[in-house]
Amino acid sequence: NLIFSCNVTTKLFGAPIFLNFVRHIHMKRTIKWKDEQDKIEGVKYGHITYFPRHPDNVDPSFEPSKLLLIRRVKSFAGNPWWEKKVLKNLGFEEKVAKVVCINRRIMFDKLFIRLIVLQKHGDVLVIVKNTPDMCAMLWKVKHLIKIVPIKLPDKLPTTNDLKGTYLHENGTFYVVPKVEPICEEAVEQFINNPKKLNRDIIQNKLRLKWLEGNLM
């Protein structure tokens, strides 16, 4: 054992110490999608070039939706200005955090807190068209939003049927048909029919028979 005495005594063991340097080896990525002229080519879907994981991978056939339901799942804070600009162009607005803090001090009701969370995280739904330009815009902020395709019915509603429509959060668009005049008249006749026995009448009659003892 060797001992060197300086300001601080250091003891070195007899075993030699070697400094091992780690060498990073960059592996060259092999590109599968190349033609005979060594040019990169992929599967083209319109204006988009897609490189599947496996060469024999075939996507199932589907009919693209005409409309898309967009929901923002991330906050505005911490994102660059160009992504905030895209969100504003889509229709999302940046909420002021000061207003949220003031509301939180006033009331601690569960319902009110739920409204505050919706304001803070921007739980606003935006419906856009499924066009190439819109898809290119959504691609820039795909990590900040959730995209749900809207399933439209076979028969689209008219202007008079808009009051009976409902859009579910999973993207299904329901159209409630209007009640025909014949059905409305039949319901009114059933309600106003004097021979109709409702629950109160039947209950009173059965109770009187029970008290009289001649239920059978």
Tell me: pLDDT of 105 over 90.
no
Same domain? 146 vs 90: yes
- Of 81-85, 107-111, 163-167, minimum mean pLDDT range: 107-111
CA 137 to chain CA centroid, nearest Å: 17
- Given 150, 169, 195, which residue is the final one in a domain? 150
Same domain? 140 vs 185: no
Which CATH number is 130's domain given? 3.30.1390.20
Task: With beta carbons less than 8 A apart as the criterion, state whether 90 and 137 touch.
Answer: yes
Same domain? 205 vs 132: no
Domain assignment present for 40: no
Same domain? 143 vs 185: no
Per-residue confidence band for 23, with pLDDT thresholds at 50, 70 and 90: very low
Domain assignment present for 130: yes
Residue 119 neighbours by CB under 8 Å, 6+ apart? 95, 99, 100, 103
Domain assignment present for 75: yes
Q: How many domains does the chain have?
A: 2
Range of the domain at 136: 67-150
Query: pTM higher than 0.95, yes or no?
Result: no
CA 98 to chain CA centroid, nearest Å: 27
pLDDT for the residue numbered 32: 60
Same domain? 71 vs 144: yes
Domain assignment present for 163: no
Same domain? 135 vs 185: no
Same domain? 146 vs 198: no
Domain assignment present for 8: no
Burial of 6 (0-12, 13-18, 19+ CB in 10 A): exposed
pLDDT for the residue numbered 146: 92
- Count Cα atoms within 13 angstroms, Cβ side, for 134: 14
Average pLDDT estimate for 179-208: 84
Domain assignment present for 19: no
Span 171-183, pLDDT tens digits: 888 888 777 788 8
Same domain? 86 vs 125: yes
Span 28-85, pLDDT tens digits: 555 566 666 766 667 777 777 777 777 777 778 888 888 999 998 888 888 899 999 9
Residues in the chain: 216
Task: With beta carbons less than 8 A apart as the criterion, state whether 61 and 115 touch.
Answer: no
Same domain? 131 vs 75: yes
Same domain? 188 vs 140: no
Domain assignment present for 22: no
27 or 141, which is more confident?
141
Dihedral angle of Cα 203, 208, 212, 213, to the nearest 10 degrees: 0
Cβ–Cβ contacts within 10 Å for residue 113, how many? 13
Average pLDDT estimate for 147-172: 82
Domain assignment present for 29: no
Same domain? 97 vs 142: yes
Same domain? 201 vs 143: no
